Structure 1
Amino acid sequence: MGTSRMFRVFVVLGSAFMILLIIIYWDDVGVSHLYLHTPVSPGPKIPHGPPPQQSQTSRTPSFLSDIDAFVNQFLEPGTGEPTDPVPPDTSNQSEKAEERYIPRREWKIHLTPVAAELRERQEQRRKLLQEMCANDSIAFPGKNRSFDDISNKELDHLIVDDRHGIIYCYVPKVACSNWKRIMIVLSESMLQDGVPQRDPLAIPRDLVHNSSMHFTFNKFWKRYGKFAKHLMKVKLKKYTKFLFVRDPFVRLISAYRNKFELRNDDFYRRFGQVMLRRYANQPTPPASVDEAFGVGVHPSFSNFLQYLLDPQTEKEMPFNEHWRQVYRLCHPCQIQYDFVGHLETAEEDAEHLLRQLRVDNVVEFPNSHRNLTASSWEADWFSTVPIEARRELYKLYEPDFRLFGYDRPEWILNE
């Protein structure tokens, strides 16, 4: 009996060890193959003081501890030995990578703590999300489903940076271009003259929105197979998760201005022509955006809102990401976000977040000098929209207003 029992133990341990090796290989080696960046380089040496305490977002030890727990559950009481600590993997730290390493701007490290009011701001925003998700008075599609019920296609806005333990849910029209640039710099997924690009603004716009530059949750299935959902949950538990939002109505105005007041042939052909035919008495709209602009034809803001409120729109296809509700993009009732930034307080929030992530010595959030849509313009934009349409639109986006703490726009809904 003793021999048989020992044999079973060895078989179980051997199987678990093989699973561990496969997962670690996929999680570590696979990332470098996907991103095509140089191996992880050691940081600069600090001459004085003790080494900095390891961040809680450190990927390898926390991941291995989960695997240890997985292995230990197969052992009968009294048959297992304490798991030996696993040394960190340094096989991918080459001398060439060290030679090409660009020293971090250590002088930029903030030694003073984050202001109490900024910490309180984040606490209030996180608490509000929890309260709204638990509040039965607010209902919206998908609110009460579990994370397992979210389809793979709906997870394409969650960008993962395994190097720093960060997950970012990007929301179009909320400074997502610059935050995507930050994620590219941190993940080192773009090389410039053989070294990782360190300047966010030097990343071309076409690459910023190129899906191959970002490792998103919906790509986990291709890499990890049946382990994908489990690994998503592990990373959601261990990593720092953040998103940025803005006033929902102002976001709609910004989307309209960017996609239909400017020459965008793709959006004109996919959406603009539909709006003109259905709501602007244009049965045969111009074939291209250049022709349309040449004769002064484009969908009005009212046409755009009619399109959003038309039940036929969602029957044909889900809302485009530029006007899709944030709760549908980022699933805030299934994912407990650690940081909720607002575009209205973007400068303070960005600095706070980068300090919290301990990467403010690596990258700075770029300042935007573009013409931004102001909240004060809302009344002017909605002046030509019938009052009933405004109220229906609010119902459509009410979850975003309430989840993220934006006041009900009474001056628009009750005029």
Structure 2
Amino acid sequence: MKTESSFSSARWIIQKALPVSAIFAVAACTASDAPVSAILPGEAIPALSDVNRGRFLLGRALFERIATQDEGLGPLYNQDRCSSCHDRPTVGGASSASVRVLKATRFMDGRCDRLEALGGDNIQLRVTELFAAHGFGAEEIPLEATASGYVTAPSLFGLGLIEAIPDSVLLSIADPEDRDGDGISGRLPRMADQRSARFGRKGDAASVEDFVESALRFELGFTTPRYPEEEARNGVPIPEGVDPMPDPEIDAETLGLLTDYVRFLGAPAPEFLGRGPAADSVSQGEALFDQIGCTQCHRPELRTGNAEEPVLRDQVIRLYSDLLLHDLGNGAGDLCGSDALPGEFRTPPLWGLRYREHFLHDGSVTDLVEVIDRHSGEAILARVRFQGLAPQAQMMVLRFLRSL
């Protein structure tokens, strides 16, 4: 018999983890204490309303909670809690290079097939004890795939601010036909329903809620209100008797709390905000970063629009990204995305870069110079210009990047 989940509806958090009165007491005394320019990794955006700070804290507790098969985990999954993939340098950050997701796609005749008929592009490598007891193992890379590989989980810092940027801002800087002839042809990817997709390595999610719901489904194996059916194992439906929880295993309340936790995660402030020799050196590196053309894609600033939450509204945010897809020229065998060719990648925001230990989508590089050397396609001129700088000037650029 299927039992009722203590994970769904956030009941475990509300009744056992921390009383709601305590949550809002914390919210009341911390909501406006921290200045916007002093956000540490993992903190909420300052000046949140008491209600939303309370939701942030409840969502964080869920984010760190270990799920079990009796609560709906699996039967196919990769990790048993959200923070397993988002813990560097703290909860809400990126993953380490050792915690990666295996993905596979098929690209034929100019079209991307995310292999949904064969279980989807996320290859789930773990199974619950109950599923294993019925003789089932992990998913395998479909033979139909033309590309497969591991990817790291991105940092979640500042995603609510990114969500609050209007499409009109991104469309104003997109230039898919390269009409200005500068060699940069960024384009805004679209979902099947034509919403703009600004999240994910390949631009595969349109909103923070979409991003969170996708992780719940494909990484933890939960069913959700919009997707109440279990994922199939390489396209073969899950048999009866291997999943004890009624569907959907995650209800709207729990999804909302997790979404608000991610939405209200602050963006880390740069290391140097004042003046002095160190800050001056960083400023010189930033000027060189602009001069060699890096800011054509890694745009320093974008402005949010008329967001519902006041702290997200009409903010100039220094994310160093245009959030557009660009052809980096070296992706013939790479994974494709819903609206992304194998060689196309969304420009990753650089805020919080100093906290990262591994770079690129697969976490295979630890040296920033090598990261720059890997840039090709639309980024080749910026790369060549960096390589042509004097060693001292290159060091200034790197010092700037390590200050973000």
- Shorter-chain TM band: under 0.3
Greater helix content: 1
Between Structure 1 and Structure 2, whose CA radius of gyration is higher? Answer: 1
TM-score, structure 2 as length reference: 0.22
Q: What is the TM-score when the length of structure 1 is the normalising length? A: 0.22
